Chain A
């Protein structure tokens, strides 16, 4: 463990060095940096931030372990990225909209989705994609960067209807910045000056491709310049810094100052501690020592240390919180494991009404299910 001792100044990843143009509040240990201004957050909100981050970490660990047991299909881990996900969502107002990708499990939960619904699609059930009416979250985006122009469009719609108190927060990854949709979405956002905040979760890796190979730009934030909007880099493993930057960007989206444009591109500098998904093996393409350096900046440890330092958290409260989140995640798993989907669901919700042709196809399936038994359908195709 001398890694830890050396980490203090020497082994800081270049991307988050204090002398780079990056917003940081907490140092690697969780102590407030000199000259940093801590955002105005109540103790209650700080504890909510902490508890949600802890829950996210626990959720992630359980999901990975369940996937290994064959109880979940492919899962995209978020270890190391929970702090930024939760902080951005807690910065949202209730009426704001969230556009998540397949990795933003914690961001969705922190903006109102229930935990069981996050597990359901991983168990093969689309029920979890049915987002309650009072929750302003879009279904997760899997085709890369496709959400960017859509988020712009939703923000535009709000603006055209005079509802600029509603902002849109759109997540994307570092890989997404290479897609055409990224360019088109941000370009429109600037041209039509919409109340949107784009959060690029730069976790340094798009599956096996490192950030340096994704773009020759030094930073992702600097791409904002080309669209005439603000670009901000923030230490994505520092939940307080992310909360501050996201809150300011959201406030500007709603109420821009004179001459300011509403949109912001936030580059939340993070690290993908784990695999791209449970189907991926990072040891094939990256060195484990790289991960170690980032692990020293774990967002869970940093926010925990900060709360202890401030006297907001003590060991009794910590274990009370730990018990509570474990209970909540267990209950969510139990609920999700009880979900069953009828094969009729295949034809439902394709259109508002099921067309006659599709009804026929459903009836034919049900005729076969009656004639043979359901087991006949689960014979391995291979």
Chain B
């Protein structure tokens, strides 16, 4: 892993993977603000099971990069308490599939301390968690349960798809006055590199990104599915002249309704790609938002290309479960040729 900003002084940007950009983002924020602390299982000496907190323990010490007992409710509950003292905790949940013991703390308290106290108290905290499938992981290690958290008012939910965005969205999340669930697509933790500025910067939590301009159909996605969606769009452009616009939502809650509907008003068609199960997934919310805001522009049924309404299978079948470029292409064609 490329080292921290301290050893890169003078350089304006470094070529980083997504997980390195997260590490760099944590480093940058911790160096600027003593109140930022990282805590969780194996985040300290071990540097995180995916190395997302690599070197932070050595750099900032055991009082700011804290190995906790194995207890997710404890980690999040303690973080809520820490946040009341002016500290900015960045707890890590080792895998999204292991967040559930903390669910009560997140939805009953982190999400609503602001409203319960009528604005007197708030919970500035960023809960980081690797999520999603495709890495041949054991059972319970591949979940995409963003919809649970999107459904909870008071939480912001963020998922980066590039190293640049990872660092900028993480900074914005840490600076945000409200609790943020920061979901890291572990499939693309090390998939590619990108220039990431060494200086601090933010990527707004209220703007989706248009990754590819197009006029025939709007493809909405986020996280690790952004890459196969872009590949599918490129393939269809070359093979069939279909011009797809690809929108990476980046922040899943609150949704950037404006970018979503503006694109749809232009194309009149939509496909939504997510690896979470189809039923009750965020795709349903996006489709309905489009119907509410832009029905008169609609030229075809809105297509959802999603995971199955079934538990994530073990790795021999995960390629069939996840939306591959081939499924996305087929879904886009069907919608455009409707």
Binding site for B on A (CB under 8 A): 73-74, 102, 121, 123-126, 142-144, 175-176, 178-181, 206-209, 213-215, 279-280, 284-285, 341, 343, 345-347, 350, 355, 357-358, 361-362, 365, 368, 371-372, 376-379, 381-382
Choice from B69, B187, B224 contacting A178 with Cβ under 8 Å:
B69
Closest 7 CB pairs of A and B: A124-B316, A208-B46, A178-B69, A175-B70, A124-B315, A382-B191, A376-B326
**Closest CB-CB distance, B99 to chain A, in whole Å?**
10
CA A358 – CA B311 in complex, angstroms?
12
Q: From residue A190, how far is it (CB to closest CB) to chain B in Å?
A: 21
- B300 contacts chain A at the CB level, 8 A cutoff: no
Contact (Cβ within 8 A) B136 A121: no
State in angstroms the CA–CA spacing of A206 and B311 once bound together: 27
CA distance A102 to B138 in the complex (A): 10
Q: Which listed residue (A181, A213, A350, A372) contacts B310, Cβ 8 A?
A: A350
- Distance in angstroms from A172 CB to nearest chain B CB is 11
The smallest beta-carbon distance between B145 and chain A, in angstroms, is: 13
**In whole angstroms, how far apart are the Cα atoms of A214 and B74 in the complex?**
12
B188 touches A343 (CB 8 A): no
The CA of A341 and the CA of B313, in the complex, are separated in Å by 11
CB atoms of B71 and A346 under 8 A apart? no
Q: Does B175 contact A (CB under 8 A)?
A: no
User: Measured between alpha carbons, how far is A121 from B41 in the docked complex, in Å?
Assistant: 25
**Quick check: is B24 within 8 A (CB to CB) of the other chain?**
no
CA distance A121 to B134 in the complex (A): 16
How far is B314's CA from A74's CA once the two chains are assembled, in angstroms? 12
Q: Which of B209-217, B255-263, B317-325 forms contacts with chain A?
A: B317-325
Using CB atoms, name the residue of chain A closest to B315.
A124
* Residue from the set B42, B74, B138 with the largest chain A CB neighbour count within 10 Å: B138
For A143, A176, A280, A379, the residue with the greatest tally of chain B CB atoms inside 10 Å of its CB is: A143
Contact of A213 among B46, B69, B138 (CB under 8 A): B69
Q: In this assembly, does B168 line the interface, its C-beta being within 8 Å of a C-beta of chain A?
A: no
Q: Is the CB of A347 within 8 A of B308?
A: yes
Contact B309 A357 (CB under 8 A): yes
In the complex, whether B228 has a CB less than 8 A from a CB of chain A is yes
Distance in angstroms between the alpha carbons of A175 and B72 in the assembled complex:
12
Does B241 lie at the interface of the complex (its beta carbon under 8 Å from any beta carbon of A)?
no
From DSSP, what is the main secondary structure of chain B's interface residues?
loop
The answer to whether A377 touches B324, judged by C-beta atoms less than 8 angstroms apart, is yes
- Kindly report which residue of chain B lies nearest to residue A382, judged by CB atoms: B191
B317 touches A74 (CB 8 A): no
Partner pick for A123 among B47, B74, B316, CB 8 A cutoff: B316
B309 engages A379 (CB within 8 Å): no
Number of interface residues of B (CB under 8 A): 54
Given contacts A126-B314, A345-B317, 11 further A-B contacts (CB under 8 A): A124-B316, A143-B100, A144-B70, A178-B69, A179-B71, A180-B101, A206-B70, A208-B42, A358-B308, A381-B228, A382-B192
Q: Does B67 contact A (CB under 8 A)?
A: yes
Select the residue from B47, B321, B326 with max chain A CB neighbours within 10 A: B326
Q: Which of the residues B49, B101, B137, B192 comes within 8 Å of A73, measured between beta carbons?
A: B137
Shortest Cβ distance from residue B311 to the other chain A in the assembled complex, whole angstroms? 7
Asked if B60 is at the interface (CB within 8 A of a chain A CB), the reply is: no
Instruction: Tell me, yes or no, whether B140 is within 8 Å of chain A by CB.
Output: yes
CB neighbours of B137 from chain A (8 A): 73-74
B278 in contact (CB, < 8 A): yes
For B73, list chain A residues within 8 Å (CB).
Answer: 179-180
Report which of B42, B224, B330 forms a contact with A207, defined as CB distance below 8 A: B42
B330 (CB) vs chain A CBs: closest residue: A368
Complex Cα distance, B136 from A372, in Å, reads 23
* A124 and chain B: residue at smallest CB distance: B316
Q: Are B324 and A143 in contact (CB under 8 A)?
A: no
**Which of chain A's residues have a CB closer than 8 A to the CB of B139?**
121, 142
Contacts of B21-63 to chain A: CB distance below 8 A: 41-42, 44-47, 49
A343 touches B71 (CB 8 A): no
Q: Is the pair A346, B279 in contact by a Cβ cutoff of 8 Å? A: no
Decide: A381 and B227 in contact? CB cutoff 8 A: yes
Tell me, rounded to whole Å, the shortest Cβ–Cβ distance linking A47 to chain B.
Answer: 34
CB neighbours of B67 from chain A (8 A): 208-209, 213
Which chain B residue shows the least CB distance to A181? B101
- Residue pair A357, B279 in contact (C-beta under 8 Å): yes
Q: List 19 A-B contacts (CB under 8 A).
A: A74-B136, A124-B316, A144-B98, A175-B70, A179-B71, A179-B73, A180-B73, A180-B74, A208-B67, A284-B46, A346-B308, A346-B321, A347-B308, A347-B310, A350-B310, A365-B320, A376-B326, A381-B228, A382-B227
Residues on B with beta carbons closer than 8 Å to the beta carbon of A285: 45-46
Selected contact of A381 from candidates B69, B140, B224, B279, CB within 8 Å: B224
Across the interface, B326 reaches (CB within 8 A) one of A126, A346, A379, namely A379
Point out the residues of chain A lying under 8 angstroms from B151, CB to CB: none
**Residues 103-138 of chain B: 1 if any A CB is under 8 Å from the residue's CB, otherwise 0?**
000000000000000000000000000000010111
The answer to whether B46 and A381 have CB atoms under 8 Å apart is no
Give the residues in chain A near B97, CB-CB below 8 Å. 143
Bound CA span A209–B74, Å: 15
Q: Are A376 and B324 in contact (CB under 8 A)?
A: yes
**B residues less than 8 Å from A381 (CB atoms):** 134, 187, 224, 227-228, 319, 322, 324-325
Chain B residues with Cβ under 8 A from A209's Cβ? Answer: 41-42, 67-70
A124/B70 in contact, CB under 8 A: no
Q: Whole-angstrom distance between the alpha carbons of A179 and B97 in the complex?
A: 15
Most A CB within 10 A of own CB, among B309, B316, B325, B330? B316
| Alpha-carbon distance A94/B325, docked complex (angstroms) | 50
Q: Do A179 and B317 touch (CB < 8 A)?
A: no
Closest to B311 in A: A350
Q: Does B327 contact A (CB under 8 A)?
A: yes
Contact A372 B311 (CB under 8 A): no
Are B314 and A125 within 8 A (Cβ)?
yes
- On whether the beta carbons of A284 and B45 are closer than 8 Å, the reply is yes
